[in-house]
Amino acid sequence: MVGKEILTLQFGHYSNFVGTHWWNIQEQGFEYNSNIPSEINHDVLYREGLSPRGEVTFTPRLLLVDLKGSLKTLPEIGELYERLPHPSEVKVEWDENLVETRPGPSEVKNKFQADLEDPEKLQSVSKESYDFDKDARVWSDFLYTRFHPRTVNIVKEYQHCNENTPFDAFPLGASLWKTPQFEEDFSDKIRNYIEECDGFQGFHVLTDCTNAFGGLTSSCMEHLQDDYGRKSILVFPVIPSHFPDNEYQTEEEKLQSVIIDSVRMLNVALSFNEFTENSSLLVPLSVGSTGWRQPGLKREFRNVVYDFLGSITCEKQLCDFKLPDGKKVSIEPKLPYHSSAILATALETFSMKYRLKSSGFALADLSADLNQGGRKVAAASLCLPFPLKEGGDLLECLDKWEGPLFQSITPNCTIGNYRVMQHVALRGIAEERLKKPLNQAQKQRELPAYRCDSIEEMLTLFLSYTSEATASNVTVVQKPLDVRNPFPRIFNRNIAQNGCVSEFERADGIGVEKVPVLSGLHTGSEVGQMLENLHTEARKIKVARFHQFASEGIQKDDFEECLDNLFALRENYEDSYVI
């Protein structure tokens, strides 16, 4: 298989939640039956290797960064290549009488991680019953994929969830990159991965942008531009759907939350400015409708109910739910395990364009299509699951469609239908579900879309009718999205096991295994409005009042330049722009 390799970089705890779901989805969907060759070129994001025991391994081409204490039971070097010895097995050269041993806090593997180590249970974990809503406190709790030893990189200087020394401000991350120990080690690992590639094409960068990881990522991307400037860099800043400090009870806590919100706002503005400077394309992701200041109400998806106060089975639309014991539905999603799965679903789907075996499309082509005229920011959308009825067809589904085709997953941004450039991917609908056979078509034969001979042709036609002066690039993948464990159980009971909308509810104990998905990347005037909103909110903040920034050299003039850059970027999205 020809190269086209991509190296993925993940910075921050929430980005690692999203990334964990993304890698899990891919690995659960691997085809091991040679009679059914995969449409997807997995070599784009994965690498083949050999363990010290001579076993062939297939691991993500990935470097991730997180803080000390974020891994729980996962060893930093992983578990695929070697087993860490128990402390009792380690021989110490010192006189034992002169050494005092103090055991640190120990973590116990949850049932899912324990079952992954049991050969007899490994094959059945996708159908077992696990309480991930309760157990998935960090991303490694639901990690199915196994990593290469160089993948995980832990920042020892900062502790995860430590309020005394928070890693919360953009300059802290920028300063961390400048330390020789971090920069040299991380740069060497990047180079090692790239030297293994035959046709390396660029980078995926998945990063937190509301804390200091924005600064760390910005410095790393500057390094990528300096050393690999001709390669494409597609960056996805992710914003959590919930921040614990927003749940204040007193006036003092409310004031503190407002201050922390302002710090996050500064981080987002500084990050977006640097990311656009050093990337080919920037795609912000969040299921929160607002994103900055506070995440806002969650984005709603047809036949999906996510993030309950308690683990229950989805049965109806959100507004119809009555929960036991007087509990209420969470308006603001609190479980990163849920919200990150939705973002990972979109990532896995819209990235198909340059990951298919049959496609000659590259990461650079996607960026060139969407960043014309200096439009270096795009919005993302998702339709999960695509509501194809059991026994129905795509023509019937689209002909009866009401409302927008897409739901935005970019904060403060809607998906427009006028003068837009967009790449759309639809997966999980077989060609035989395109339309009714001629002898059964009846009124369908009178529709212009009945003349379409493929899923791609019909979706392209639908987009041309519903979007004015819009250029649409459509990708179709036959394989549906695999949503078995450890994907969260967020689908309504009227979604059948195969992902289709059914007239009947699923029986107890039967979970959804695969679903059709529609996702896209879009650039239009609505993205400019998002940037204008970011500029307006950030301008309200006096950066000199925040010592975390002023003490590290970010002065008023620096922040004014950042704001000017954001406003200039916003002007590229005026309606006068011609596609």
Taking only the tens place, the pLDDT of each residue in 298-311 is: 999 999 999 854 33
| Tokens encoding 417 | 């239908």
Q: How far apart are CA 184 and CA 190, in angstroms?
A: 10
Sequence letter at residue 421 = M
Tell me what pLDDT residue 104 has: 57
pLDDT confidence band for 180 (50 / 70 / 90): confident
Helix (H) or strand (E) holding 279: none
Nearest Cα neighbor of 512 from 529, 523, 500 is 500
**pLDDT computed for residue 91 by the predictor:** 61
What is the dihedral sign for C-alpha 138, 141, 143, 148? positive
Looking at residue 2, its pLDDT comes to 57
46-60, 127-141, 493-507: least confident range: 46-60
Rounded to whole angstroms, the Cα distance separating 20 from 132 reads: 14
Distances (CA, A) of 327 to 308, 323, 493: 9, 5, 20
3-state secondary structure 534-574: HHHHHHCCCHHHCHHHHCCCCCHHHHHHHHHHHHHHHHCCC
pTM of the model: 0.92
What does the pLDDT read at residue 352? Answer: 96
Please report the pLDDT score of residue 74 as a whole number.
Answer: 87
Report pLDDT digits (tens) over 367-424: 999 999 999 999 999 999 999 999 999 999 999 999 999 999 999 999 998 888 999 9
Which pLDDT value is given to residue 101? 63
- Cβ-Cβ contacts under 8 Å for 343 (sequence gap 6 or more): 18, 21, 238, 285, 286, 287, 409
- Residue 546's pLDDT is what? 93
Please name each of the domains of the chain with its CATH number: 6-84+111-352 (3.40.50), 390-405+416-523 (no CATH)
**What is the pLDDT of the chain when averaged over all its residues?**
89
Question: Is residue 53 very low, low, confident or very high in pLDDT (cuts 50, 70, 90)?
Answer: confident
Is 23 strand, coil or helix?
helix
% of the chain residues with pLDDT over 90: 73
Give the SS3 label for residue 426.
strand
Q: Is the pLDDT of residue 90 over 60?
A: no
CB within 8 Å of 508: residues ≥ 6 apart: 313
Give the pLDDT score at 551: 81
The answer to whether 194 touches 200, Cβ cutoff 8 Å, is yes
Question: What's residue 16's pLDDT?
Answer: 98
